[in-house]
Amino acid sequence: MQETLDFKRDSLSAVGVSAAVIMPGMGTWLGASGISDSSNDIRTGMLFSIASVTKTYIAALVLLLAEEETLTLDDSLHQWLPTYPHIDSTITVHQLLNHTSGIYSFHENPAFWDSMFTDNERLWTPEEMVTTFIEEPYFPPGEGWHYSNTNYLLLGMIIREATDSDVSTELRRRILNPLHIRNTFLDIEEEIPDNLAHGWHDLNEDGEPEDIFHLSRTAWYSAIWTGGAMVATAEDVAVWAGGLFDDDLLDEASLDEMLDFVEIPFGWFPFTGYGLGMGRIELFDMELWGHSGDIPGYNSIVMYSVDDNVSISVLVNCNAVFAANTIGYGLYEVIRRYLGISPTPPSTTPHADEFTLQQNYPNPFNSITTLTYSLPVGSRVSLGILDISGRVVLKLVDGYQKSGAYNVDLEAGTIPCGMYMIRLEASGGQQWRKALLVK
């Protein structure tokens, strides 16, 4: 795993990374690679921003409050908060938790980014955030899905109102202390120890990240607050994942609510579904639960394997695209090999009477993989490989093909490692599959 950590950090040009893997009955593995700053290497005990992984803790806290009948998931905003422009007060706590509220996300407002970089020492209140950067909603409540940091800002306000306490106090009392988690903090509300890894971010957009540790975190972390302001060690985050699903923190009904996934649009990698502060990740032939996060200077992911109860956390101190995700997938592949589990080929053979794009095999792959598809009738066919931004990086087929079954080899060549989408357009429709290249 250390070799995998070193290799993937280097191939992704990530500055530094700390990772933890907990395998029940086998112990905990901690790894670190790269640097914090020009004088210090990353150490496993360092703190990192975990960004939107924070949402998993906030969702669990809300569910605990619901178990205690302090609030209910059906409570509407008007029961707890005043009316705000562009925010429908009939929206429920449940709709905030699973991003079906339709509320505009402040991070999509260019004025928000301008404000953060212009005055990084400003202390924002959540009330200021929801009255300054919120625009018209995406859709009426419950009629769609759109990830919105504003949802979790409002949840923080509700927690504070319902408990008459700081969110950090409630997190520590109800979650962190019971699970013996000692190196996790909610920034701005709590003092952060001096072992925070330096974050690196490409400020001047020249393709090279710069150490931004000298810049104040106040504006960013007060603005994001309960949507992404927590910091932790990699070990603590892995302990949290295991504690959430293995230690009876929540009762069975609450866990069922958290894991009631709604389908989400293509483009929200690595998720294929979203529950209450928890995403569904489909990797290899397995289902994992977790969340990823990104904030200037840091990238993170936590994953919990449903089938073998393994917890994985990866914290990166730069914004290399999908670095934490890719490293986490690589570590999980090592675990599967150690446990004697290997990716399985497609279980069915395509037939010419079905318009079908099979999952590529092998997947993940490191040099070549085979794409298999079938056409019910002759059709113009377009088979392409797209990156996570939707850009076509390789066109494999573009022309008319007769009905039948086809195999096409995809050779990685100079394509960089990462997550890609395979898109087949034929017979007036589209089918998609995900492919992970791990050079």
Backbone φ, ψ for residue 429 (5° rounding): -140, 180
Q: Give me the pLDDT at residue 378, please.
A: 75
Contact indicator for 315, 48 with CB cutoff of 8 Å: yes
The answer on pLDDT for 345 being more than 70 is no
pTM: 0.81
Indicate the residue type of 381.
Answer: V
Instruction: Give me the residue spans of the domains in the chain.
Output: 2-338, 356-437
In angstroms, rounded to a whole number, what is the distance separating the alpha carbons of residues 154 and 227? 9
The answer to whether 296 touches 215, Cβ cutoff 8 Å, is no
CATH T-level fold of 356-437 = Immunoglobulin-like (2.60.40)
Distance CA 369, CA 437 (A): 9
Q: What is the pLDDT of residue 389?
A: 58
Mean pLDDT in residue range 191-195:
96
Confidence class for position 284, pLDDT limits 50, 70, 90 = low
Sign of CA dihedral 264, 267, 270, 276: negative
| Bridge partners, 9 (sequence order) | none
Number of alpha helices (DSSP H) and beta strands (DSSP E) in the chain: 11, 21
Predicted confidence band of residue 350 (pLDDT cuts 50, 70, 90):
very low
Q: How far apart are CA 421 and CA 131, in angstroms?
A: 38
Least confident of 132-146, 312-326, 377-391: 377-391
Model confidence pLDDT, tens digit, residues 63-79: 999 999 999 999 999 99
- Copy the structure tokens of residue 62: 């809300």
* pLDDT tier for residue 427 given thresholds of 50, 70 and 90: low
2-338 is a CATH 3.40.710.10 domain: yes
CA distances to 155, 180, 320, 364, 406 from 271, in Å: 22, 29, 18, 16, 29
The answer to whether residue 343 scores a pLDDT higher than 80 is no
Q: For residue 408, count other CB atoms closer than 10 A to its CB.
A: 15
| pLDDT for res 428 | 61
- According to DSSP, the residues that pair with 80 across neighbouring strands are none
The pair of structure tokens assigned to 390 is 């939707």
Higher pLDDT, 436 or 216: 216
Q: What's the mean pLDDT in 140-167?
A: 97
Among candidates 157, 171, 142, 146, which has minimal Cα distance to 58? 171
